[in-house]
Amino acid sequence: MTFDEFVQARLPALLRFAAVLAGDRELAQDVVQDALVVAHGRWARIGGMERPELYVKKIVTSQYLSWRRRVVRRAELWQRQRVEEPTVPDHAEGMAMRAAVLARLARLPQRQRAVLVLRYYEGLGEAETAEMLGCAPGTVRSAHARAIAALRLESAELEALR
């Protein structure tokens, strides 16, 4: 499979993955674009792999975690998310649940968010997640536990306000 064929076939899935990971479609597009530039340079090796998409997703994840311009972007994203939160409740339950989950994910630190996205959105196990993030499985377990604890605490705080 050529690089162009790969991009044509897998770009929508890579963008969805990055959008869930980054919490912002524009940032996801930037991250995927940077990742594809890296993948293009290594395509002779990547294209021969059994599942090149997994390796490209690893590049996307690395680009997301190490993207230096994200500091300014993150501040803009937080401001935009605060402004864009709907004042009128959405009556489509599924869409409201999705928005709530993405908003909660957006408040997590990047590594914790990446662990949850890889574990639950991508369905990867601890070992595969650790490989994707380039860390030990114990680090994945720790980040997972912290992320779940933070989400539970936030849920408890929201319930206390009701």
Q: What is d(CA 154, CA 97) in angstroms, rounded to the nearest whole number?
A: 15
Please state the domain extents for the chain. 1-84, 88-162
Among 35-44, 68-77, 147-156, top mean pLDDT goes to 35-44
Among 3.40.190.10, 1.10.10.10, 3.30.420.40, 3.90.1310.10, name the CATH number for the domain at 88-162. Answer: 1.10.10.10
pLDDT of residue 93: 75
pLDDT of residue 126: 93
Instruction: Report the percent of the chain where pLDDT is more than 90.
Output: 57
pLDDT digit string (tens) for 33-61?
Answer: 999 999 999 999 999 999 999 999 999 99
15 — phi, psi (to 5°)?
-65, -40
Between 44 and 87, residue with greater pLDDT: 44
Q: Helices marked H in the chain — which ranges?
A: 3-22, 25-41, 43-46, 52-66, 70-84, 93-106, 110-116, 126-133, 137-161
